[in-house]
Amino acid sequence: MSSRRRFLAGSAALGVTGAVAGCSAGATAGPKGSTGADAAGKTPASPAAGPSASLVPAARPDTQPLNFVVILADDLGYGELGAYGQQLIRTPRIDRLAAEGLRFTDAYAAAPVCAPSRCSLLTGLHSGHAAVRENPSGPRGQGSLTDRDLTFAEVLRARGYRTGLIGKWGFGPEEPDQPSHPNSRGFETFYGYLTHRHAHDYYPVHLWENGTRQEIPENRGGARKTYGPDLIEQRALAFVDAHRDEPFLLYLTPTVPHAPSRTPDPGAYADEAWSEADKAHAAQVSSFDTLVGGIVDRLTALKLAERTLVLVTSDNGPHEEGGTDPDLFDANGPFRGYKRNLYEGGLRVPLIAWSPERVSAGTTDRPTPLTDLLPTLADLAGAPAPSDVDGLSVAALLRTGAGTGTGSGTGSDSGTGHAPRHDHLYFYRNHSGVTRRADAVDEGRARKLAEAVRRGDWKAVRFAPGQDRRVPDEEWQVELYDLGRDPGEQDDLAAARPAQADALVRLMRDSWAETYERKPFGVTLEAARERDGFLVTATLANGSSRPWTGARIALEAPAGWRVRSLDPVTADRVPAGGSLAARWRVTPATGAAEGRLTCRGTATHAGEPVTYEARVSVQ
């Protein structure tokens, strides 16, 4: 029996104290008056009636943790916001954020379709390493996350953040209490659509609230009474209200403007001489703008704006389904391609960072994949991030003065260094679904497996003869573009610059791992059945790039169970890549058929406490 890893909601940021005891006589003594059992009567692991210790120290009164709101649109093209050149669709609220904050001109979705893009955004791994690399229509079907996949929500939970996902999750299966459920991947609060296909329904007959399916009977039989995006907006605002006094992460993922282009009211576009689909699409984009504005207004009203970072972006390029004409809106901006293409129009997305008094107004042309979100949020929250992610922190750009200057994004903030740049960016596409414009851009190769790499201004795109990546290099068709001179990717230089093309193809090969082995991170817990009970093993693994100090593991069992520690459970220092492991013999109470064991690991990272948790059910 192995554990389900969780990242605890208690940390210095929350100012909460725990009463779980240590597991060795040498553990630090706890608060005066503590006993060997917690308030719920559960038995902590102890060699005898040992002293208890506070797992979570109280918050320092001068600490003001930064809140995070990550807002991800669904299929919003680079050119569909006024701040990025849109002329027909009105997006005044987001445009204002772009004017007041940092606008990224070279931000990239990790893939040209939803599921792999979102997996990479959550985990910091590009599509040659991530667990989900294809949309459900690809050869592997509906993708799922696993217990080995660490999301940015799990990273922030270790520092005490309250975490919520409101909207589209996009991974299967559609079941509660399984490793690919948002609650299992670091989100305490979830409301919305679990699977990719379910999220296509704007008038759903059910949504999920954590592990409970919530019926919406008024939408049965094709009725269109309750609009899904309205419910998502209400829940997002309620989440902010509920956690106004705590550090929080809100990952807000509305389904607009994904197809079908469906909205209760075309609004300002009702009288335009466009198709009904285009009117509805424009209204969807404007409704996304209104949603973003509503969140900012609530943050401002609660006096949270000054200590909240808002990030607005999209998961891939613009779609053309359901009669929507992306060319009417110039939805891909100056770039070639659409959703499903590995050309810039399918990958380049808007990205805006806004936080009054923290992020200076400006633009940056740093090539920034959305895999950078995990290490960036970890950096800003003082949380350790896994050292084996592909993303790099851009925290240096998100401090006052760091993003000033059009096209630079390289100003300094009291000596803060520039954000590191990637050696190269890797992208992968293996998708069975085809749309007319995307296939035309791909010259009839939209169903073929494809890869792309950008290094500096050079970008290569290559197409396999089918959907098998293992074919020899000579069977692929390779294209080469100089984005500095040719951002629209019109002039293929592969024949003129074969050495450059070959170098980028080598990077493609090196970027792919059929199975990407992760370094252990956080707490894992295993229980092996013995004659009279269980042998329990827990490991607190430091998978980050910096050492941890003051590490400690504590095991909690149900009341009446006997727990005997076999190993030391503290370590003064756990180096990067190292771990602290301990074992216990656990004997159930007389007559107990089953129970749940909980292990908490604590340590100090860069001067800040972190707490990790794992649980396992035994019988």
* pLDDT value for 141: 64
Whether residue 591 is predicted with pLDDT greater than 50 in this model: the reply is: yes
DSSP characters over 527-561:
EEE-SSSEEEEEEEE--SSS-EEEEEEEEEE-TT-
* pLDDT value for 411: 34
What's the Cα-to-Cα distance from 400 to each of 97, 357, 367, 380, 407, rounded to whole Å?
Answer: 15, 7, 20, 13, 16
How many Cα atoms sit within 13 Å of 370 on the Cβ side?
A: 34
Q: How confident is the model at residue 600 (pLDDT cuts 50, 70, 90)?
A: very high
* Percentage of the chain modeled with pLDDT above 90: 84
Whether residue 18 is predicted with pLDDT greater than 80 in this model: the reply is: no
pLDDT tens, residue by residue, 244-259: 999 999 999 999 999 9
Whether residue 540 is predicted with pLDDT greater than 70 in this model: the reply is: yes
Contact 5, 523 (CB under 8 A): yes
* pLDDT value for 137: 66
- C-alpha–C-alpha distance, residues 403 and 412, integer Å: 8
* pLDDT value for 593: 85
* pLDDT value for 34: 31
Whether residue 184 is predicted with pLDDT greater than 90 in this model: the reply is: yes
* pLDDT value for 138: 54
Residue whose token pair is 């002329």? 87
Whether residue 53 is predicted with pLDDT greater than 90 in this model: the reply is: no
Which residues are paired to 363 by β-bridges? 103
* Percentage of the chain modeled with pLDDT above 70: 86
* pLDDT value for 357: 86
* pLDDT value for 109: 98
* pLDDT value for 139: 57
Across 20-24, 122-126, 213-217, 277-281, least confident range: 20-24
What's the Cα-to-Cα distance from 291 to each of 81, 91, 296, rounded to whole Å?
Answer: 14, 11, 9
Residue whose token pair is 């001489």? 273
475 SS3 class = helix
For the chain, what is the radius of gyration of the CA atoms? 25
Across 32-46, 145-159, 397-411, least confident range: 32-46
Q: How confident is the model at residue 36 (pLDDT cuts 50, 70, 90)?
A: very low
Q: How confident is the model at residue 64 (pLDDT cuts 50, 70, 90)?
A: confident
Q: What domains appear along the chain, each with residue ranges and CATH number?
A: 18-54+519-618 (2.60.40.1230), 67-165+173-185+217-421 (3.40.720.10), 426-511 (3.30.1120)
Whether residue 560 is predicted with pLDDT greater than 90 in this model: the reply is: yes
- C-alpha–C-alpha distance, residues 429 and 342, integer Å: 7
Across 42-56, 204-218, 323-337, 382-396, least confident range: 42-56
pLDDT tens, residue by residue, 295-321: 999 999 999 999 999 999 999 999 999
* pLDDT value for 12: 30
Contact 572, 17 (CB under 8 A): no
Q: How confident is the model at residue 44 (pLDDT cuts 50, 70, 90)?
A: very low
* pLDDT value for 417: 40
For 277, phi then psi, to 5°, come to: -65, -40
* pLDDT value for 35: 30
Cα-based angle 342, 345, 351 (whole degrees, multiple of 5):
110
Phi-psi region of 338 (alpha: psi -120 to 50; beta: other; left: phi over 0): beta
How many residues in total does the chain contain? 619
Which tokens sit at 355? Answer: 């936080």
Contact 9, 188 (CB under 8 A): yes
> DSSP assignment, residue 50?
P
**Residue type at position 187:** F
28 SS3 class = coil
DSSP H or E run through 330: none
Residue whose token pair is 């329990």? 536
Whether residue 497 is predicted with pLDDT greater than 60 in this model: the reply is: yes
Bigger pLDDT: 616 vs 404? 616
pLDDT tens, residue by residue, 393-448: 999 999 865 444 333 333 333 223 489 999 999 999 999 889 999 999 999 999 99
